[in-house]
Amino acid sequence: SYELTQPPSVSVSPGQTARITCSADALPKQYAYWYQQKPGQAPVLMIYKDSERPSGIPERFSGSSSGTTVTLTISGVQAEDEADYYCQSADSSGTSFGTGTKVTVL
């Protein structure tokens, strides 16, 4: 396993764009995934394989990758997007989650 580093918090006004980064040396070789978790609820898969969006996930959520950093972008943030977000990556022997980012909608 390896460490995936995320900023502890991101604050954004409604309608603006939030960007959450996740970095680790191993990322260029492995896909990254993103989860949203609201208080008292189980995580929800938002992005897989760096940039693919599961069915039912709003188009305002997108993922990208550049070098050793992957980014989750929330365009046109809504109040309901306030939550914790975790990146994840995996290799053949294990999985690691990022440190988590709390997104606050001002």
- Can you give the binding site for other proteins, defined by CB under 8 A? 1, 31, 33, 35, 37, 42-45, 48-49, 54, 84, 86, 88, 90-100
CB neighbourhood size of 79 (10 A): 8
Do 64 and 73 meet the contact criterion of CB atoms below 8 Å apart? yes
In the bound state with other proteins, the residue whose beta carbon lies nearer, of 42 and 79, is 42
Cα torsion angle, 72, 77, 80, 82, sign: positive
Residue 23's CB: how many other CB atoms inside 10 A?
17
Q: How far is the CB of 22 from other proteins (least distance, A)?
A: 12
When the beta carbons of 6 and 71 are compared against other proteins, the nearer one is 6
Closest to other proteins by CB, 43 vs 73, is 43
Minimum CB distance to other proteins, residue 14 (Å): 26
CB of 98 to other proteins, least distance (A): 8
Nearer to other proteins, 99 or 104 (CB): 99
90 vs 9: CA distance, rounded Å: 24
Please, what is the minimum distance in Å from the beta carbon of residue 15 to other proteins? 28
Tokens of 41: 């609820």
Could you tell me whether strands 9-12 and 101-105 are parallel, antiparallel, or unpaired per DSSP bridges? parallel
